[in-house]
A and B are shown apart, each in its own frame.
Chain A
Amino acid sequence: MTSTLTNLLGPTTGAVTTALDGRASIVAATQGAENAVLTPRETGAWSHDLRHALAARIAAQHDEPDAAEHYRSKINDSTLANLADPQNDGSDQGLAHVCAFMDRVAQQTRDVNAQDIKDLQSAGVSDADIVRLCELNAFLAYQLRVLAGLRLLGGKA
C-alpha cells in the first residue's frame, strides 16, 4: 500500500527493511491515522485544505522539508497556502488564534496550560474543534518523529 512514511523515507535496505516488514501493521495504521487526521469525512471547522496547510507548517517547524512539501502540495485553496510557512501568523486568514495554539502545542508542548484552551474557547472555537486541532498536531508529532528516527536507523542522517 502507499504510505507517506515509506515514500518520504525512500528505499531501505537489509535489516531496516526487515524491521519495517515486521511492523507492517503499524506502518499501515499510521497511514490510516494520516487519512483520518488530514482528510476526515467530518471536518468540523477545519477543512482538508486548512489541515494540510497546518500539517505543512508543523513539518517545517520540525525541519522536515520533504514532509512539508508532501502536505503543502495538497493545499488547493490558495488563500490558505501561506499558513504552511511558520513565518506567517495566520492573521491574513483570521486564524491567528489557531496558528498561535498550534505553534505552541507543536514546539512548546510542556508549557501548554489551561489558559491556552480558554483562549481558543474565548475565540469561539468549539470543544470538538479543539480536540480536532490537538489530534492533528499530535499525529504530526508522531509521524515526523518516526520519519526522523527511521532515517537515522537507515543511516540517512
Chain B
Amino acid sequence: MNTFSLIRTRWSNEKVMTAVFGVLAMYLLPSWIRQPESIPAFLAVVAAALLTDSVLNLIRYRCPVCGVSAAVTAGVFYILTPGTALWVRIAGVAAALLAGKHLWGGTGKNPINPALAGVLAIGLVLPMNAPDFTPQLSMLPALLLSIPFIRFRPYAAAGFMAGMAAAMVFRQNFGFDSYLEYGAIFWGCLVLTDPVTVSPRPVLGAAGGAFTGAVSMLLSGSTVVMAGSILIFNVICFIADRYLELPSGNMRRGKPVDGVIARNSEVLFFDLSQSKEEIRQGAEEKAAVPEFSSQEILQRLERNGVVGMGGAAFPTAEKIRSVMRAREEKKYFIINAVECDPGLIHDGWLMDRCMEEICAGIKLMQQCVAFEVVVMAVKETKTIKACNVNVAKVPDYYPAGAEKELIRLVLGRELSVGDIPAEKGILVLNVQTVFAIFEAVVRNKRALTKFITVADMNTKTAYVVKTKLGADIRAVADKLPLTPGNIFAGGGAMQCGNVYANDVVDKHVNFIAVSRFPGYKESVLCSRCGFCDKNCPMGLGVSRISQFVEQGKLEKAKKYRPESCLQCGNCSRVCLAGRNLAARVRAAKAG
C-alpha cells in the first residue's frame, strides 16, 4: 500500500511567492502614493514578466503553470532599476527570466537570481540610479513583513545582516536610519533567503551572506555591486551544493505535529471484535501473574501468534530470543507508550483502562529475561497510573516513538543504521504488545484482535476500536458514527494509504480515518526550500533522493542512504510543492 501523511502544511510555493509579492508591493506603496503615475509602469513590467514566464512554461511543461514567481522577479527587478526607461525594464525583465531562469531548466533549477542578473546586465551597459532606500516610516510595514522569510535561509540572511552591521561599524555609521537607508533588513530577508539560489548550509550561508552584506554596505549606493556580489554568492552556493559532502545523516530532534483530534473531545470505545469479555473500566483487581519459565512464555507467544502491535508486526518471541542471545552484559527493556503519531489515541486509552494487565505483561518479560533496566517511556505531557516500573518522560514531538530515537532519548545510546536493538540487548515493545503478551501467556488467548484508532478528521473526533484482525476496513468504518468521505488506513495519521475493496485490518494497521484527500498536487515546481531535508529526523537528503528517483537514477539515490528512512512522512507533510516525498524515498529504499 502506498502511504502518505494525511496532515499537510497549508502553505505552498505559490502562496509563499504571493506573500513575497505582497511585501514588494508594500515596499512600493509609499512611492505609488507620492507618484500614482508610476503604477501603470509597474503593472506593465509585471505583465511582461508573467507573459514571458507563461509562454516559456507552456513550451516546457505543455500545460499552464502558476507564474507568481515571475511577478516576484518583476517586483525585485522594478525596485532595483529606478529611473530606467520603461521599454528597458520590460525588455530587461523578459531577458532576465529567459537567461536567468528558463535557460537553466525553469523554476527551482536556476543557479542565479534572475532579477539580479537582469539588474547587473542593465547596470553594466546603462547609467542607473540607486534604488530608493530613503528612511521613512511608511517603509516599516514592508520591512517587518519581510522578516518571516528569514525562515527559508536563516544563516545567509543573518550573515548578510551581520556583514552590513560590521561594515557600518567600520564606517562609523550607526543608527537605525542607516539600516533602512541601505535596505539591509529588506534585502537580507528577501533576496538572501531565496531558497533556489542560496545554500542552506550554515557555514557557507553565514560566510557568504556576511561577505555580500559587507561588500554591499561598504560600496553603498551601487546596485551593480550589490547585484554582482549576490550573484557571486549564488554561483558559489550552486557549486557547493552540487559537489560538497552530503548531510551527515545523524538523528535530529523532530518537531511537534498538531494532533488531528480536538483536545477536549470525548473518547468513545467500540468493541467490534465480538469477544465476550469486556474491557474492565478502572480494574481494581490485581492481574494474577503465575510463574512461567522462559521457554513456556516464548512457546505461548509463538502459539498465540503475538507480533509487534506498533506496526512492524515482527514476531515478539523471535525478538525476545534475539535479546536473550545478545552478548551484552546489561539488558534493557523499554515499553514504548509514547504514541507520538498525531492521530493515535488507543495506546493512551489502553493504559488508562488496562494498566494492571500491562504491568503483568512487564513482569512476564522480567521472568523471561534478566533485564538490568526496565523503563516505560511516555510523552512528557502524559500522566500515567503508578506501575512498579520506572517511567521515562520523553519530549512531545514526532517521531519520538521511533525505536532508535526512543533508545537515544531513554538510554542515551546512539545506534547506527544497520544496528538491530534486540541484538544489542535492548528490547523495545509497544504497550499494546505488552498487553497482548499478558493475554497470550496468562489467559492463553490468541492474538486475533487489536485496538486501533478510528478518526473522523472532518469533525476532529476519534474512537478507540477493538477489532478482529482480518476485518474489512470499510465494514469497520461503516459501523461507526463517521461522516461520509474517503477512507484511509495505515500505521497512523502520518503513514496512511487509500483503502481499496477487500483491504482488511492487518497487523500493520493501527489507524483508520475518514478525511478529505490531502492536497498532494504533485507540482512540477520545486523551490528547493529544503524543508524536507530540515524536517527529516534522520537528516537524509530527501530532496536529492526524490530528485534522482524522479529521474530514474536509483543508483545515485542510493548514495544518500534511503535505507535509513523511518517512513515517518514528515517530508511529505511539509513539502511546499505538494509532493509525496516519503513515497519517493521508499521507492529508492526498495530499488
Partners in one complex: no
Binding site for B on A (CB under 8 A): none
